[in-house]
Chains A and B, each alone.
Chain A
Amino acid sequence: MKGIFTLLLMGCLFVGYSQNPNTRDLVYRTFKDTRVINTQSVETLPARKLDIRISHRFGDLFGANGGWGTFYGLENAADVLIGADYGITDNLTIGLNRTKGAGPLTRLVNTNLKYKILGQGISSGSPVTLTVLAGSSIATSKKIDDPELLTSFPKTAHRFMYNFQVMIGRKFSDRFSLQLTPGFVHRNLVTAADENGLFSLGLAFRLQVTKVLGIITDATIPFSSLRTTERGYYIPLGVGLEIDTGGHVFQINLTNATGLAPADYIPNTRSNWADGQFRMGFTISRLFNL
């Protein structure tokens, strides 16, 4: 498994070295932000830009835990992310954030390293933008002395989870962009009935409606016989509006995913749109020149 990913990453890097993204005219901004809704987009930050981000996922809008009793989820916080990304070069972004966590592991400190290998050419060159991401999450919640629980953390290493993604995006026109995201999540500690590694495929698109307003959608399909609706797992699916006023991207969305970190929402989405278990969420992102 690890060998396949190593080969995939090496292959991407080889292609990257042979086609430097800076050497020709490239399509600009396949997506407006470095995230779509739940998934990362192919975009990296320009060099020396700091992106301060705050994301929020409220409680269920409807269903047993929603409705008037929770003011349609607004009184609950399924997950909250506070963090920052920084563009080291135009093609390399690093990020650090903290999420509350919505799965069995909580108080997550997440890091990510994102590298744009290929840029989509305007008239020639690559037909797609290709970006790879490696991320880690460490659960910083208290150790609980119960070996039945994941939070017993027998070893420090058991607090760690990792995710790897290859984002392949194409801007088809000024209005429409599409992205595929094969990914892999590895959790160091899972229950006996679960599996450590989980492959997934993300699908995202962006439809630009006006100069400042776009419609975004993403979904991530986990490939595992253990992640089926019969077992109570659902595909994390989000739809949203994105408002870009220049230096300030505001996103409001609806999603059934509760977590914000990839190692959290990809294996742990147990909310069903059909049962009203989707929530409102938003992201505020502000760019600073450093």
Chain B
Amino acid sequence: MKKIIPIFLLLPLLGLLSLTEFSNSLGNIDSQKPVREVLTALGEPQPDHFISSMPAKASIEIGENIVFTGTAESVSLQSPHFVCTSCHNVEKEFADLRDTDPQKRLEYAVENDLPFLPASPFYGIVNRTSWYNGDYEKKYGDLVIPARKDLRAAIQLCAVECSQGRLLKNWELESVLGYLWTLELKMEDLAIPENEYPKFENGNSKNTASLIADLKSYYPQSSPAHFVTPPEDRRTGYDVVGNAENGEKLFNHSCLHCHQDQRYSFFELNDSKITKKFLGKHFPKYSRYSIYQVSRHGAPSHPGKRAYMPQFTKEKMSDQQIEDLRAYLE
């Protein structure tokens, strides 16, 4: 009996210790707590695209199906050419969301076995306040005006113009939005030093505005987009020295994502010598097979064959990375 009593006393203690060891909290703020909830507690109003309840027929599951497969039950494909994940990851793409350097994005993609894509990730997209920024106006004109301040309008613009499909029905749109809200940023996603946490949990009416601004500084509110051109002289290329090893990573995580087994493209690529020789040979040429051409200008869609390749902005693929690809393929 004397032996049993200490064991009974020790067991709850061990339980408490294990909770301490494995609990996932940062101060009083749960690391899994959505950033939006912390902002709301600090007095930030909910964004217009926040969903408090779903309309009939809509569901997060349907939204997820549309994002991954382009369809939900008993409706036609949103687009016969692409699905959302052709161009968007649903995972985080940076270790530190503030640092959007394309090379760090590539390294993160390689480390986490993600594709390296031309569009912004869905992870955290509901936390942004602007979409279709920068030079997308050059591509889509006035269509970007409503899309820049309204995520629903941005989704519809993407559905019709980017994926060359149809407008989403309202219940489909709300379903997609519902799914995107499952990908909202959590406090643990932000690179906030631990000693900074208390100020967000102990905010008071005097400094909430600066606290909100401070918290928002840990993640981008928008995704800058600059369209850039191929090098003036394609034979000499951009004025940097390519790294073939890095180029191989790009080829595997970017080019092959769409082109391998003609997943989204009619133009098949693989890691054979024939393919690499072909791409290397055309790299410096002024042709539609030149990666300078398609990475910076994309490939156009045609009537009756509307699948196309979107271009990579400067923020999504650097000149250095394009030279890395060239070094690998040549």
Contact = CB atoms under 8 A, between A and B. Distances in A.
A211 B275 contact: yes
Given A28-B261, A289-B81, A247 B274 contact: no
Interface residues of B, number: 21
Interface string A243-269: 011111000000000000000000000
A290 interface: yes
B272 A174 contact: yes
A286 B268 CA distance: 15
A106 interface: no
Contact of B266 (A208, A247, A290): A247
A101 B277 CA distance: 42
B22 interface: no
A35 interface: no
A210 B268 contact: no
A208 B265 CA distance: 20
Contact of A247 (B277, B278, B279, B305): B305
A29 B268 contact: yes
Contacts of A288: 304-305
Contacts of A96: none
B153 to A, nearest CB: 26
A211 B266 contact: no
Interface string B284-326: 0000000000000000000011110000000000000000000
Interface of B is mostly: loop
Interface of A is mostly: loop
Nearest to B260: A28
A208, A210, A211 interface centre (most CB from chain B within 10 Å): A211
Contact of B274 (A28, A175, A248): A175
B304 A210 contact: no
Given A246-B268, A288-B305, A208 B274 contact: yes
Interface string B249-267: 0000000000001100111
B220 interface: no
Nearest to A248: B266
A210 B307 contact: no
Contacts of B304: 288
A175 B267 CA distance: 17
Contact of A246 (B265, B275, B277): B265
Contact of B305 (A29, A175, A210, A286): A286
Contacts of B80: 48, 289-290
Nearest to A211: B278
A46 interface: yes
A28, A244, A246 interface centre (most CB from chain B within 10 Å): A246
A175 to B, nearest CB: 7
A16 to B, nearest CB: 21
B266 A246 contact: yes
A203 interface: no
B65 interface: no
A211 B267 CA distance: 10
A211 B307 CA distance: 21
Contacts of A48: 77, 80
Contacts of B267: 245-247
A134 interface: no
Instruction: Give me the 10 closest cross-chain CB pairs, A-B, nearest first.
Output: A247-B266, A246-B267, A211-B278, A289-B80, A174-B272, A246-B266, A28-B261, A289-B81, A211-B274, A290-B80
Given A289-B81, A289-B307, 15 more contacts: A46-B262, A48-B77, A174-B272, A208-B274, A210-B277, A211-B277, A212-B278, A244-B268, A246-B266, A247-B266, A247-B305, A288-B304, A288-B305, A289-B305, A289-B306
Interface of A: 28-29, 46, 48, 174-175, 208, 210-212, 244-248, 286-290
22 contacts: A28-B261, A48-B77, A48-B80, A174-B270, A174-B272, A174-B273, A174-B274, A208-B274, A210-B274, A211-B275, A211-B277, A211-B279, A245-B267, A246-B267, A246-B268, A247-B305, A248-B266, A287-B266, A288-B304, A289-B81, A289-B307, A290-B80
